[in-house]
Homo-oligomer: A and B are copies of this chain.
């Protein structure tokens, strides 16, 4: 069965309290646990224990957790990962707060991904019996859920191949140097029905471009921007649209410089959705459809 979703991102942050203010007050996530130099948080509409884990010290990506459907699936992925030739380790229940047994895989681009099928259930603010459509009182941007991550790789094609061959992801969109030639520059890969659950962008190994939270609609993108202005959150790119994936978006930074995104819109994918190809000469329009330009730092800035 397909991998279910990006379950969590583990981020390194310089100042735990400053990071907590950002994720809990500005983004409005719920703190579900803290201690030992770590804080776990979830979006209001997420059932599992957490989708973000802040880890004191530095900046950047400590790991991405993808939740799978069963132990059988984990076993299959383990076999395939070993055959693929990447480093695979067993992860034990309790290695991470609230997370069950699983695998720890080092991608060809050196980031760590963790595959698991159990996380402590917390539930949402609205419950499961005659629920309201959302919590009565909003908290900052009030992000409902984590959506995807974007990592960088010196050779995106290797990472794309890993996600497709080992984990059964598919590419919704691909950026190539030119249409006739096969040099892959970037790939957007999905395991569910969104346009992507992971993006692989060109860049150094081991690095994070951004993690993205899903928000309701275009109005929510504006509301997020207004909150960022009032909270003094650095905004890299204001309300905008991607040509690639059609998504509505805004980019901003947590206090340690880890890039965040709020995203909505985009389209629904299926197992038979044909792959879209972008060519490098149309990159600016692909990245920011309306402005058709972006700063150099948007590509090179990673943590």
Q: A128 touching B193 by the CB < 8 A rule? A: no
Q: A133 touching B240 by the CB < 8 A rule? A: no
Residues on B with C-beta less than 8 A from A219 are 217-219
A97 within 8 A of B: no
Chain A positions 97 through 138: 1 when the CB is less than 8 Å from some CB of chain B, otherwise 0? 000000000000000000000000101000011111110101
Contacts A129-B279, A226-B133 given; indicate if A45 touches B267 (C-beta within 8 A).
Answer: yes
Within 8 A of B (CB), among A55-72: 67, 69
Within 8 A of B (CB), among A1-56: 1-2, 4-5, 45, 47
Q: Which residue of B lies closest to A134 (CB)?
A: B226
Q: B131 touching A276 by the CB < 8 A rule? A: yes
Closest chain B CB from A72 CB (angstroms): 13
Closest chain B CB from A27 CB (angstroms): 14
Closest chain B CB from A186 CB (angstroms): 14
Q: Which residue of B lies closest to A133 (CB)?
A: B246
The stretch of A88-96, A148-156, A280-288 in contact with B is: A280-288
| A265-B219 Cα distance, complex, nearest whole Å | 12
Closest chain B CB from A7 CB (angstroms): 10
The stretch of A78-86, A204-212, A228-236 in contact with B is: A228-236
A270 within 8 A of B: yes
A301 within 8 A of B: no
Q: Chain B CB within 10 Å — which of A218, A237, A238, A286 has the most?
A: A238
Q: Which residue of B lies closest to A130 (CB)?
A: B282
The stretch of A158-166, A253-261, A289-297 in contact with B is: A289-297
Partner of A290 from B47, B194, B239, B286 at Cβ < 8 Å: B239
| A28-B237 Cα distance, complex, nearest whole Å | 28
Interface size classification for chain A: 35 or more
Within 8 A of B (CB), among A173-223: 179, 192-194, 214, 216-219, 222
Contacts A194-B193, A265-B216 given; indicate if A222 touches B238 (C-beta within 8 A).
Answer: no
Question: How many monomers of this chain does the complex have?
Answer: 4
A278 within 8 A of B: yes
A271 within 8 A of B: yes
Q: Chain B CB within 10 Å — which of A132, A193, A239, A279 has the most?
A: A239
Residues on B with C-beta less than 8 A from A272 are 4, 47, 67, 69
Q: A225 touching B290 by the CB < 8 A rule? A: yes
Q: B240 touching A238 by the CB < 8 A rule? A: yes
Q: Which residue of B lies closest to A265 (CB)?
A: B216
Partner of A5 from B132, B138, B270, B285 at Cβ < 8 Å: B270
Seed contacts A129-B277, A217-B265, A238-B239; 19 additional CB < 8 Å A-B pairs: A1-B2, A1-B271, A69-B272, A123-B274, A128-B274, A129-B179, A129-B279, A131-B243, A133-B226, A133-B289, A136-B227, A194-B268, A218-B222, A222-B239, A225-B241, A229-B285, A239-B240, A239-B290, A250-B290
